Homo-oligomer: A and B are copies of this chain.
Amino acid sequence: MLVLSSPSGAGKTTLARALLQAESGIDMSVSVTTRPKRPGEVEGKDYIFVSQEEFSKLRDKGDLLEWALVFDYSYGTPRAPVEHALKAGCDTLFDIDWQGAENLTKTAPKDLVTIFVLPPSAEALETRLKGRAQDSPEVVKRRMAGASNELQHWDEYDYVVINSDVEESLRELRAILAAERLKRDRRTGLEEFVRDIQKKL
């Protein structure tokens, strides 16, 4: 379970998509949210869009691995797809905020690898936050405050990637994924493999 967090506008979503395209054996966790769909967003791909009532029902039934309230809207991680992927030996990528990451850490600390994506500078972040033409100035202002708040949590993550260049950041994310897959306690069948070699020597 690979978690990507960052302030809105640091390029996390672009990186997440690039990583999924570059790597096999890893799928995206699609969050449920009560926030309205933005133009261009696809139901079931970007988010599963639900009403507050539907959200509450999912939460109360225990169908969410974690959930959090961000800017008045609720966000959550459906439990079933993640558990299914893990059973199948497939990794899951989470594009969630620090609250989601913290909640996941409580739920499944052992399987979790967390990465914080930092913007290269305040200017780059501001440009990107203002660049979303569909948002009102008030929403932009609020998102700037939110970004500052999210930034505060960078030091709760395992890894930090500074997103100065998408290609370089993608290389870094792929290195983290590759290395984590090589960790001894994540590898299965090695005990038998080594015993076999020893027997034949």
Contacts and interface: CB of A to CB of B under 8 A. Distances in A.
B198 A151 contact: yes
A101 to B, nearest CB: 13
A194 B151 contact: yes
A154 interface: yes
Interface residues of A, number: 44
Classify the interface of chain A: helix, strand, loop or mixed.
helix
Tallying the copies of this chain within the complex gives 2
Given A119-B197, A151-B194, A179 B184 contact: no
Contacts of A144: 201
A144 to B, nearest CB: 5
B175 A157 contact: no
B122 A201 contact: yes
Contact of A197 (B145, B151, B197): B151
A84 interface: no
A144 B123 CA distance: 61
B182 A159 contact: yes
A123 to B, nearest CB: 7
Interface in A137-196: 144-145, 147-148, 151-152, 154-155, 157-162, 171-172, 174-176, 178-180, 182-184, 187, 190-191, 193-194, 196
A154 B119 contact: no
A161 B148 contact: no
A118 to B, nearest CB: 7
A43 B85 CA distance: 53
Given A155-B191, A159-B183, A184-B155, A126 B178 contact: no
Contact of A154 (B118, B190, B199): B190
Interface centre among A125, A152, A174, A198 (most CB of B within 10 A): A198
